[in-house]
C-alpha cells in the first residue's frame, strides 16, 4: 500500500513541479494576467481613495499572510508524509467504502480547521484519490467530498477560512472565543455535507474491498513540529497571521537550505499570482464598500438567515474573499450568519472560492478527472441543507 500510494503521489508531484519549469500554458498565463489585473485594481483604488484603500488593505492583509504560512506548513507536512500516512492508515483500517469515506472526511475536516481549507484541498486531494485507487475503488466520493467538506468545515477557527478573518476583523476575536461561538454550526455544516455527498455517491460507497496491507510511515520531523506550532498559534493568538507566516517561512528556508525542497515547488504551492490578484480585487471591493453605502444599508435591513443567503449569492458572483471585503467593509449586524453564507455558499459553483481552483489543479495532477458540474450538482443540495443546519445552530447558540 505504502509503495503504491507514495509512488503515485510522487509521480503526480513530479509532474506538477516539472510543469513549473516549462513554458507557461494558457491556464498559467491566465492566472498571471489575473494577478496583474488585481494589482491594477489595487493601484486604481489607492489612487482614487487612498484612505479607504489603506483601511481595506489593513483589514484584508492578515488572511492572505496567514494562508501563505499555512500553505508552506502544509507543503512541509506533505513532504514528511503526514498526509499520505493519514490516507494510508484510513485505507488500511476502513472495512468498506462507507467507512473509508467517513474516516477520510473527518481527516479533511480536521486539516481544514487547523491548516485552512486551501491547504486541505491542495494536499489531501491527491492523497485521497490514490487512497481510493489503492483499493480499486471509485475515487468520486473522496474527490468531491474533499472539496465540499473543506468548504463546509471552514467555520471552526479563524484561520480555517480567509473570510473568517476579513469579516471578523472589526471584532478582534481570538481562536478560543471564535470556536466557542462556531463549534456547533461548524460541526452541523460538516455533518450535513458529509451526509449529502454520501447519499449522492451511495452507489460507489456500497462496494466492499479488501483492505491494503502496510500503512505509510510519516517522518516526525520539521513538518510535524510546524503543524503543532501553527495549531497552538492559531488557537492562542488573537492575530496569528504574522507568527504563522514566520513559522512557515522559517521552516521552508531550512528545508530549502537542506535541499529537501525546490524553490519552484514552493512557488507552485503558494500560487502567488492568484493570491495577489484576489488581494487586489478584495481591496478594490473593500474601497467600494466604504465609498458606497448600498451593501451596509442592505445588511442593516436583513435578518440572520437573509444575511447568510446574501453572502452565499455574492460569493458565487465575485468569489468569497472579495465578497467578504465588500460586505464587511463596515460593521455587520449578523457577522456569523454572513460567514455561514460566505463559507458554505462557494460549494455552489467554481467561482465561489480559491479552494475550487486548487482542488481542480491537485486532482488533475493526480490523474483524476474532476467534474465541476458534478460538484455543483451535489452542492445545490448540500449548500441549502448545510446552511440551514448551521444557521439553526447559530440561532440555538444565540449568536448572530
pLDDT of residue 207: 57
pLDDT of residue 135: 73
Q: How far apart are alpha carbons 256 and 263 in whole angstroms?
A: 7
**Dihedral angle, C-alpha 182, 308, 385, 121, nearest 10 °:** -70
pLDDT of residue 399: 65
Task: Find, among 238, 265, 90, the residue nearest to 175 by Cα.
Answer: 238
pTM above 0.85? no
Which residues of the chain carry a pLDDT beneath 70? 1-27, 169-172, 206-218, 365, 399-400
Task: Find, among 335, 342, 352, the residue nearest to 121 by Cα.
Answer: 352
- Chain-centroid distance, C-alpha 59: 19
Q: What is the pLDDT of residues 40-58, one digit of tens each?
A: 988 888 888 898 889 888 8
* Cβ(223)–Cβ(83) below 8 Å: no
Task: Find, among 201, 87, 194, 103, the residue nearest to 135 by Cα.
Answer: 87
Task: Find, among 218, 396, 248, 385, the residue nearest to 312 by Cα.
Answer: 385
pLDDT of residue 6: 45
Task: Output the DSSP codes for 163-226.
Answer: HHHHHGGGTT--HHHHHHHHHHHHHHHHHHHHHHHHHHTHHHHS---PPPSSPP----SHHHHH
Q: How far apart are alpha carbons 60 and 54 in whole angstroms?
A: 10
Residues 6+ apart with CB under 8 A from 96: 205, 207, 208, 209
Q: How far apart are alpha carbons 198 and 204 in whole angstroms?
A: 9
pLDDT of residue 142: 92
Q: How far apart are alpha carbons 235 and 320 in whole angstroms?
A: 23
The DSSP 8-state label assigned to residue 22 in this structure reads S
* Cβ(215)–Cβ(84) below 8 Å: no
Q: How far apart are alpha carbons 229 and 248 in whole angstroms?
A: 10
Residues 6+ apart with CB under 8 A from 10: none
Where would I find the beta strands (DSSP E) of the chain?
none
Q: How far apart are alpha carbons 121 and 142 in whole angstroms?
A: 11
pLDDT of residue 189: 97
- Residue extents of the structural domains in the chain: 57-270+354-397
Amino acid at each position: 500500500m505504502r509503495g503504491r500510494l507514495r509512488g503515485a503521489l510522487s509521480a503526480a508531484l513530479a509532474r506538477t513541479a516539472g510543469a513549473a519549469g516549462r513554458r507557461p500554458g494558457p491556464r498559467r498565463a491566465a492566472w498571471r494576467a489575473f494577478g496583474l489585473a488585481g494589482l491594477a485594481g489595487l493601484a486604481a483604488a489607492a489612487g482614487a481613495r487612498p484612505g479607504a484603500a489603506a483601511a481595506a488593505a489593513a483589514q484584508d492583509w492578515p488572511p492572505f499572510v496567514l494562508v501563505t504560512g499555512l500553505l508552506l506548513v502544509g507543503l512541509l507536512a506533505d513532504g514528511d508524509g503526514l498526509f499520505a500516512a493519514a490516507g494510508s492508515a484510513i485505507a488500511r483500517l476502513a472495512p468498506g467504502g462507507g467507512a473509508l469515506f467517513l474516516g477520510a472526511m473527518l481527516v479533511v475536516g480536521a486539516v481544514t480547521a487547523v491548516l485552512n481549507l486551501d491547504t486541505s484541498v491542495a494536499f489531501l486531494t491527491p492523497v485521497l484519490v490514490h487512497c481510493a485507487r489503492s483499493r480499486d475503488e471509485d475515487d468520486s466520493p473522496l474527490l468531491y467530498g474533499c472539496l465540499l467538506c473543506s468548504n463546509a468545515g471552514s467555520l471552526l477557527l479563524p484561520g480555517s477560512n480567509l473570510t473568517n478573518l476579513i469579516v471578523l476583523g472589526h471584532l478582534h476575536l481570538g481562536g478560543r472565543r471564535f470556536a466557542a461561538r462556531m463549534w456547533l454550526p461548524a460541526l452541523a455544516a460538516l455533518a450535513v455535507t458529509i451526509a449529502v455527498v454520501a447519499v449522492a455517491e451511495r452507489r460507489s460507497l456500497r462496494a466492499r474491498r479488501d483492505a491494503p496491507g502496510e500503512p505509510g510511515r510519516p517522518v516526525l520531523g520539521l513538518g510535524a513540529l510546524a503543524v503543532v506550532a501553527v495549531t497552538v498559534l492559531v488557537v492562542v493568538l488573537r492575530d496569528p497571521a504574522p507568527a504563522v507566516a514566520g513559522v512557515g517561512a522559517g521552516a521552508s528556508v531550512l528545508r530549502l537550505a537542506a535541499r529537501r525542497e525546490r524553490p519552484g515547488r514552493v512557488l507552485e504551492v503558494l500560487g502567488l499570482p492568484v493570491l495577489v490578484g484576489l488581494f487586489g480585487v478584495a481591496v478594490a471591493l473593500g474601497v467600494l464598500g466604504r465609498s458606497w453605502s448600498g451593501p451596509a444599508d442592505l445588511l442593516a435591513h436583513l435578518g440572520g438567515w437573509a444575511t447568510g443567503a446574501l453572502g452565499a449569492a455574492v460569493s458565487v458572483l465575485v468569489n468569497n474573499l472579495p465578497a467578504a471585503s465588500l460586505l464587511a467593509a463596515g460593521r455587520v449586524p449578523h457577522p456569523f450568519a454572513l460567514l455561514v453564507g460566505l463559507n458554505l455558499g462557494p460549494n455552489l459553483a467554481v467561482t465561489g472560492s480559491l479552494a475550487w481552483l486548487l482542488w481542480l489543479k491537485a486532482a488533475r495532477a493526480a490523474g483524476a478527472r474532476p467534474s465541476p458540474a458534478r460538484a455543483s450538482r451535489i452542492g445545490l443540495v448540500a449548500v441549502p441543507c448545510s446552511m440551514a443546519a448551521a444557521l439553526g445552530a447559530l440561532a440555538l447558540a444565540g449568536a448572530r
